[in-house]
């Protein structure tokens, strides 16, 4: 990784859509990724971030989690070659993750509290 | 809104065999993929929980387990898994697993001085010692105990009863997990009832018979983490996506509570009062289902009279909930069609758990939510799991010597266990007879389930001979065992998935071998047939599993391995069709054939036939005198994602998600005590103390309520200091006094104070056993109040 890589990033081929409102913070995506890729302890291709919790008006709360890929995410190329979906998406207990070609994923981004992480073909 | 047309929302293909639905699999039960062997099966633990998800186990060419994935073809979990199964390879292959049988001279209990022995020597030793003790003192002087009731329960009961002992036990005060709820429902409605999340259908939410509940009450449970009792927690999220609203009854703010229509952060231990308050509103506002109540319930007038005591005003005072929210909850419950309920161990872990269960059940019974789509359902069973397997093998004369029977007559009504608190006293005191030996299977009683761990320790040390079967060395084994046998994790053994919740014809498949480990079932079979060959006529465990399955289904083990999971016949409104009763008559399996809001069963057992609430003791309502000294209400045992009870502390990926034993303090409470994140504190009450690391959080909004993690020990610590278990164990604060029925115990509420751990005062030291009188055997509450009055 260098400045050159950063100012000329690879073309986005895939998208990981996170339906933010539904992530329960269960960490299944992380452990599935780490085990499937036989990563060393402390490494991961995806991390669940605690988006904090504090009371708002009335009984409402800010309370949520957000899963975001790391540089180690390879979009599960080896699984896709076997006709399978990425392991984080399969094991997401809340089924709040979706993966696909970027054009297809972008079509699904129509409502509030969705985030798309773009991924190159590696 | 997430996409419901994704890959893994039902859509499985099924096939009908008799009245059973089988899954059509694309591949055989074992196949090759990318250089690895994949084996399909179920995952009922240990290590892990009470679910039994569908898994694909991946092994390499050396037979090593390399990963575990969810099985997308299994309708139970639809390809999903929680972190504990996703990381099971790290547990199975862990360097600290017990790998071979070991023995230790009883003189060296507590010392790390084990000697490796062969399985033959181990079995011979156990056989000789147990037989000798049986001949000298009677079979009843050997206790057979287990940890949390996973799929090993049936075989342990059979071992116990075929040996001739009546004393099968979970060393959990008041049997305060699952059984009180089972009893509460069985006493009023003749069977156990669970939330209908379409789990009885292989096509799940798409089944035309199924209806999404309008509202689910989640009561004393955090299913997303707990995955308790055959209930896959994220079904709640599946149903929310399909429009279901939530009412969450939990002292803690959670993801679920912040996404619920109504959150009721109740004072711990007051669930019965809230349920009785709901009933008061539902009955007095005439919101109940008249047709169902008239036709199918018994004792409604008596219930209506009883709940008059529990006005919303009074219940608000008890529960610390606003009156308006109690009324709102009651109206939501009554007006939602259908309304369902998922409850948890918090209901059991209150002293008067039976009337609490009865009151909560009544809320859903009088509103007509029983046996309807999306309401509460009684799952059909392959094996009556709560009852055990082979009770007839225990001779009648010894059966009468079961501990606790004289004090708790309810144990005579279908419950086949010894009463755990009475047994704890018996082991410590030798009354009414001495216990000479124990068989503990996957039971880390000194760190996890046992209340009053000191008395528990004394009882075990009083025995001549203690045997443990487990996955890892534990504080309990290090402290008290003389022989330890290495048990297999689920990927190392065959098994069948019968158990609580939705029972399915489904098998667990062995894919790997670690050291000389044997499965719990194999250990039970091999030892059982030495004691009593007629009771264990099978050549191997697969034959045994087939015998169990074939008693209730047309399938054997091998068949289900290929074709499972098999879904049992199921339909709704079975009470109208005469399916719930042995005599084939319409109605429920109760003496009156109706749902007994006034329980003839409890009445016959000499108990109050109607539900009621009693203040937890000690507590703000029962012992206000103690509040100056012990001002905080402590609740315990909320589940983390990655650790199951006392398991997983040595598993790095999982420990990284939950590093230490924490006490959770509201910012105002932390400030009052001058505490910040990371401080170590003693949590102390009138019974004892434990230490814990402070986490300041706004998730407990009421500054009077604090919470502490349970079942902690440090596998990385000193074995001869019992891995810090006696310092960290919150059960030091719990006396183990059961409810009047012998069921229920206040695990989740007591009064405490906090103070900092200092270098001069940083340990409880070893167990103090000299002159110890069990906490429950003295009236510590009266003593504490008297001493406060004296000091004034």
Residue pLDDT, tens place only, B183-203: 888 888 988 889 999 999 999
Q: What is the dihedral of CA B467, B472, B476, B481, to 10 degrees?
A: 30
Task: State the pLDDT at residue B552.
Answer: 77
Residue pLDDT, tens place only, B389-427: 999 999 999 999 999 999 998 888 878 999 999 999 999
What contacts B791, CB < 8 A, 6 or more positions away?
none
Task: State the pLDDT at residue B202.
Answer: 93
Sign of the Cα torsion B300, B303, B305, B308 reads negative
A80 lies within 8 A of chain B by CB: no
Looking at the complex, report in whole angstroms how far the Cα of residue A18 sits from the nearest Cα belonging to chain B. 9
pLDDT confidence bin for B16, thresholds 50/70/90: low
Contact B224 A26 (CB under 8 A): yes
Contact A28 B80 (CB under 8 A): yes
pLDDT, average across residues B338-359: 95
Q: Which has more pLDDT, B414 or B600? A: B600
Total structural domains in chain A? 1
Whether the per-residue pLDDT at B245 is higher than 90: the answer is yes
Contact A35 B237 (CB under 8 A): no
pLDDT, average across residues B551-565: 89
Candidates B6, B33, B701; nearest CB to A82: B33
In order of B230, B410, B679, the CA distances from B693 in angstroms are 32, 41, 6
With a pLDDT cut of 90, the percent of chain B lying above it is: 84
Query: Is beta strand B245-249 parallel, antiparallel or unpaired with respect to B465-470?
Result: unpaired
Q: Which CATH number fits domain B102-175+387-490+523-551: 2.40.50.140, 1.10.10.60, 3.40.50.740, 3.40.309.10?
A: 3.40.50.740
pLDDT, average across residues B521-539: 97
Task: State the pLDDT at residue B13.
Answer: 58
What contacts B435, CB < 8 A, 6 or more positions away?
B141, B142, B143, B167, B423, B426, B427, B459, B462, B463
Whether the per-residue pLDDT at B614 is higher than 80: the answer is yes
pLDDT, average across residues A35-61: 96
Residues B581-610 as b/e (b if ≥16 CB within 10 A, e otherwise) read beeeebbbebeebbbbbbbbbbbebebbbb
Candidates A60, A82, A108; nearest CB to B34: A82
Q: Which residues of B touch A38 (CB under 8 A)?
A: 66
B227 lies within 8 A of chain A by CB: no
pLDDT, average across residues B10-21: 64
Q: What is the dihedral of CA B195, B199, B200, B206, to 10 degrees?
A: 110
A26 lies within 8 A of chain B by CB: yes
Neighbouring C-beta atoms of residue B684, cutoff 10 Å: 19
pLDDT confidence bin for B11, thresholds 50/70/90: very low
DSSP 3-state percent helix, strand, coil across chain A (nearest 5): 25, 30, 45
Q: Which residues of A touch B69 (CB under 8 A)?
A: 32, 36, 87, 90-91
Helix (H, G, I), strand (E, B) or coil at B588: coil
Q: Does domain B624-791 have CATH number 2.40.40.20?
A: yes
Q: Which residues of B touch A18 (CB under 8 A)?
A: none
Whether the per-residue pLDDT at B290 is higher than 90: the answer is yes
Contact A38 B263 (CB under 8 A): no
Helix (H, G, I), strand (E, B) or coil at B716: coil
B324 lies within 8 A of chain A by CB: no
Whether the per-residue pLDDT at B746 is higher than 90: the answer is yes
Task: State the pLDDT at residue B5.
Answer: 33
pLDDT, average across residues B414-441: 96
Question: What does DSSP assign to residue B676?
Answer: -
Q: Which two tokens stand for residue B71?
A: 């099985």
Contact B83 A92 (CB under 8 A): no
Report A:47-76 residues touching B (Cβ under 8 A): 53-55, 59-61, 63-65
pLDDT, average across residues B599-610: 92
Domain ranges within chain B, ordered by starting residue: 102-175+387-490+523-551, 193-377+587-604, 624-791
Report B:25-54 residues touching A (Cβ under 8 A): 33-34
Nearest to B731 by CA among B706, B753, B756, B750: B750
Candidates A55, A85, A95; nearest CB to B2: A95
pLDDT, average across residues B327-338: 98
pLDDT, average across residues B154-168: 96
Nearest to B59 by CA among B104, B16, B89, B97: B89
Task: State the pLDDT at residue B517.
Answer: 98
Q: Quote the CA–CA distance of B668 and B704 in Å, as a whole number.
A: 9
Contact B150, B45 (CB under 8 A): yes
Query: Is beta strand B30-33 parallel, antiparallel or unpaired with respect to B36-42?
Result: antiparallel
Q: Quote the CA–CA distance of B420 and B200 in Å, as a whole number.
A: 33
Task: State the pLDDT at residue B17.
Answer: 67
Residue A7 lies in a domain: no
Q: Quote the CA–CA distance of B199 and B400 in Å, as a whole number.
A: 39
pLDDT, average across residues B476-481: 98
Looking at the complex, report in whole angstroms how far the Cα of residue A78 sits from the nearest Cα belonging to chain B. 9
Residue of A27, A33, A77, A89 to mutate for B, most B C-beta atoms under 10 A:
A27
Q: Quote the CA–CA distance of B679 and B677 in Å, as a whole number.
A: 6
Contact B83, B641 (CB under 8 A): yes
Contact B81 A28 (CB under 8 A): yes
CATH number, domain at A23? 3.30.70.20
DSSP letters for B21-87: EEE--SS-SEEEETTEEEEEEE---SSS-S---EEEEEE-TTS-EEEEEE-TT-TTTTT---HHHHT
Contact B762, B652 (CB under 8 A): no
ipTM of the predicted structure? Answer: 0.98
DSSP letters for B267-331: PTT-HHHHHHHHHHHHHHTT-S-HHHHHHHEE-HHHHHHHGGG--HHHHHHHHT--HHHHHHHHH
Candidates A59, A90, A111; nearest CB to B1: A111
Contact B2 A63 (CB under 8 A): no
Q: Quote the CA–CA distance of B624 and B133 in Å, as a whole number.
A: 49
pLDDT, average across residues A63-72: 97
Contact B237 A22 (CB under 8 A): yes
What's the half-sphere exposure (Cβ side, CA atoms, 13 Å) at B770? 1
What contacts B568, CB < 8 A, 6 or more positions away?
B19, B20, B200, B379, B380, B381, B382, B503, B504, B505, B553
Residue A24 lies in a domain: yes
Task: State the pLDDT at residue B187.
Answer: 80
pLDDT, average across residues A19-46: 97
B577 lies within 8 A of chain A by CB: no
Residue pLDDT, tens place only, B479-517: 999 999 999 999 999 999 876 777 888 999 999 999 999
Whether the per-residue pLDDT at B792 is higher than 80: the answer is no
Contact B255 A24 (CB under 8 A): yes
Residue pLDDT, tens place only, B625-682: 999 999 999 999 999 999 999 999 999 999 999 999 999 999 999 999 999 999 999 9
B102-175+387-490+523-551 and B193-377+587-604, same CATH topology: no
Residue A2 lies in a domain: no
Chain-wide mean pLDDT for chain B?
A: 94
CATH superfamily of this structure's domain B193-377+587-604: Dimethylsulfoxide Reductase, domain 2 (3.40.228.10)
Query: Can you give the residue range of the structural domain that contains A94?
Result: 13-119
B653 lies within 8 A of chain A by CB: yes
A43 lies within 8 A of chain B by CB: no
Report the greatest alpha carbon distance in chain A. Answer: 50
Report B:253-292 residues touching A (Cβ under 8 A): 253, 255, 258-259, 263
Whether the per-residue pLDDT at B8 is higher than 50: the answer is no
DSSP letters for B343-391: E-HHHHTSTTHHHHHHHHHHHHHTTT-BTSTTSEE----SS-GGG-S-G
With a pLDDT cut of 70, the percent of chain A lying above it is: 100
Task: State the pLDDT at residue B671.
Answer: 97
Residues B56-78 as b/e (b if ≥16 CB within 10 A, e otherwise) read bbbbeeeeebbbbbbbbbbbbbb
Whether the per-residue pLDDT at B29 is higher than 80: the answer is yes
Looking at the complex, report in whole angstroms how far the Cα of residue B639 sits from the nearest Cα belonging to chain A. 12
Count how many pairs of residues, chain A against chain B, have C-beta atoms within 8 Å. 112
Q: Which two tokens stand for residue B401?
A: 């010597």
Q: Which residues of A touch B701 (CB under 8 A)?
A: 55
In order of B112, B483, B726, the CA distances from B115 in angstroms are 10, 9, 25
In terms of DSSP H, where are the helices of B196-252?
223-226, 235-241
Q: Report angle CA B303, B305, B308 to the nearest 5 degrees.
A: 110
Candidates B33, B81, B224; nearest CB to A91: B81
Contact B451, B732 (CB under 8 A): no
Task: State the pLDDT at residue B207.
Answer: 96
Residue of A56, A90, A93 to mutate for B, most B C-beta atoms under 10 A:
A93
Q: Quote the CA–CA distance of A56 and A74 in Å, as a whole number.
A: 38
Q: Which residues of B touch A96 (CB under 8 A)?
A: 2
Candidates B34, B67, B259; nearest CB to A35: B67
Kindly report the backbone phi and psi dihedral angles of residue A90, in degrees, each rounded to the nearest multiple of 5, phi listed first: -60, -45
Q: Which two tokens stand for residue B497?
A: 């998935």
């Amino acid at each position: 990784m260098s400045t050159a890589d950063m100012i000329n990033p690879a073309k986005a081929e895939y998208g990981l859509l996170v339906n933010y409102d539904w992530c329960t913070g269960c960490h299944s995506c992380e452990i599935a990724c780490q085990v499937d890729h036989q990563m060393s302890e402390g490494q991961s291709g995806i991390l669940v971030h605690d988006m904090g919790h504090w009371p708002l008006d009335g009984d409402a709360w800010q309370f949520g989690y957000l899963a975001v890929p790391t540089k180690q995410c390879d979009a599960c190329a080896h699984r896709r070659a076997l006709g399978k979906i990425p392991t984080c998406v399969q094991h997401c207990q809340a089924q709040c993750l979706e993966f696909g070609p970027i054009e297809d994923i972008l079509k699904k981004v129509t409502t509030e509290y969705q985030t798309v992480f773009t991924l190159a073909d590696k | 809104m997430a996409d419901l047309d994704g890959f893994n929302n039902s859509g499985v293909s099924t096939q009908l065999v008799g009245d059973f639905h089988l899954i059509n699999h694309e591949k055989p039960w074992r196949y090759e993929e990318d250089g690895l062997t994949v084996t399909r099966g179920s995952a009922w633990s240990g290590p892990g929980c009470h679910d039994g998800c569908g898994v694909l186990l991946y092994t390499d060419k050396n037979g090593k387990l390399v990963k575990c994935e969810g099985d997308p073809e299994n309708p139970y979990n639809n390809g999903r898994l929680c972190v504990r199964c996703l990381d099971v390879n790290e547990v199975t292959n862990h360097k600290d697993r017990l790998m071979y049988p070991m023995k230790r001279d009883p003189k060296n209990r507590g010392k790390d001085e084990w000697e490796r022995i062969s399985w033959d020597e181990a079995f011979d030793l156990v056989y000789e010692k147990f037989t000798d003790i049986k001949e000298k003192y009677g079979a009843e002087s050997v206790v057979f105990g287990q940890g949390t009731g996973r799929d090993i329960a049936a075989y342990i009961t059979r071992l116990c009863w075929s040996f001739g002992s009546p004393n099968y036990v979970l060393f959990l005060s008041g049997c305060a997990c699952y059984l009180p709820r089972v009893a509460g429902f069985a006493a009023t409605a003749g069977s156990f009832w669970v939330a209908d999340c379409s789990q009885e259908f292989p096509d799940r939410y798409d089944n035309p018979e199924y209806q999404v509940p309008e509202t689910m009450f989640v009561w004393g449970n955090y299913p997303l983490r707990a995955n308790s009792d055959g209930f896959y927690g994220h079904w709640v999220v599946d149903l929310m996506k399909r429009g279901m609203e939530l009412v969450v009854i939990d002292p803690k703010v959670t993801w679920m509570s912040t996404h619920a229509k109504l959150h009721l952060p109740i004072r711990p231990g007051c669930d019965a009062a809230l349920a009785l308050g709901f009933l008061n509103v539902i009955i007095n506002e005439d919101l109940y289902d008249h047709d169902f109540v008239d036709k199918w319930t018994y004792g409604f007038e008596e219930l209506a009279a009883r709940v008059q005591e529990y006005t919303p005003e009074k219940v608000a005072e008890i529960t610390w909930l606003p009156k308006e929210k109690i009324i709102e909850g009651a109206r939501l419950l009554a007006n939602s069609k259908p309304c369902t309920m998922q409850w948890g161990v918090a209901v059991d872990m209150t002293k008067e758990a039976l009337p609490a269960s009865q009151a909560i059940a009544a809320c859903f019974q009088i509103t007509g939510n029983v046996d309807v789509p999306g309401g509460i359902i009684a799952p059909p069973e392959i094996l009556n799991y709560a009852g055990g397997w082979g009770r007839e093998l225990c001779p009648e004369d010894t059966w009468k010597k079961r501990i606790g029977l004289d004090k708790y007559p309810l144990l005579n009504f279908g419950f086949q266990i010894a009463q755990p608190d009475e047994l704890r006293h018996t082991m410590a005191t030798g009354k009414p007879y001495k216990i000479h030996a124990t068989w503990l299977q996957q039971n880390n009683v000194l760190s996890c389930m046992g209340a009053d761990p000191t008395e528990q320790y004394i009882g075990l040390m009083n025995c001549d001979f203690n045997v443990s079967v487990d996955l890892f060395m534990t504080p309990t084994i290090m402290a008290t065992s003389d022989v330890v046998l290495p048990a297999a994790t689920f990927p190392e053994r065959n098994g069948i998935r019968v158990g609580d919740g939705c029972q399915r014809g489904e098998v667990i498949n062995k894919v790997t071998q670690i050291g000389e480990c044997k499965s719990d079932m194999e250990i039970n079979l091999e030892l059982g047939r030495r004691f009593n060959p007629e009771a264990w006529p099978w050549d191997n465990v697969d034959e045994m599993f087939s015998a169990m399955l074939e008693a209730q289904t047309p399938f054997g083990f091998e068949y289900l391995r290929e074709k499972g999971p098999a879904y049992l016949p199921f339909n709704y409104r079975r009470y109208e069709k005469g399916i719930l009763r042995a005599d084939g008559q319409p109605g429920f399996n109760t003496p009156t054939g109706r749902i007994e809001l006034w329980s003839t069963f409890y009445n016959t057992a000499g108990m109050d036939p109607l539900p009621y609430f009693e203040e937890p003791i000690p507590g703000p309502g029962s012992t206000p005198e103690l509040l100056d000294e012990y001002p905080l209400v402590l609740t315990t045992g909320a589940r983390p994602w990655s650790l199951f009870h006392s398991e997983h502390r040595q598993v790095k990926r999982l420990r990284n998600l939950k590093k230490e034993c924490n006490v959770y303090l509201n910012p105002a409470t932390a400030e009052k005590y001058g505490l910040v994140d990371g401080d170590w504190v003693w949590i102390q009450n009138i019974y004892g103390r434990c230490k814990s690391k402070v986490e300041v959080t706004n998730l407990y909004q009421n500054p009077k309520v604090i919470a502490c993690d349970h079942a902690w020990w440090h596998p990385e610590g000193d074995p001869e200091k019992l891995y810090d278990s006696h310092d960290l164990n919150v059960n030091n604060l719990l006396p183990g006094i059961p409810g009047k029925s012998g069921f229920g115990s206040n695990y989740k509420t007591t009064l405490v104070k906090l103070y900092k751990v200092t270098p001069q005062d940083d340990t409880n030291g070893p167990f103090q056993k000299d002159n110890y009188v069990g906490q429950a055997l003295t009236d510590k509450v009266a003593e504490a109040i008297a001493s406060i009055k004296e000091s004034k």
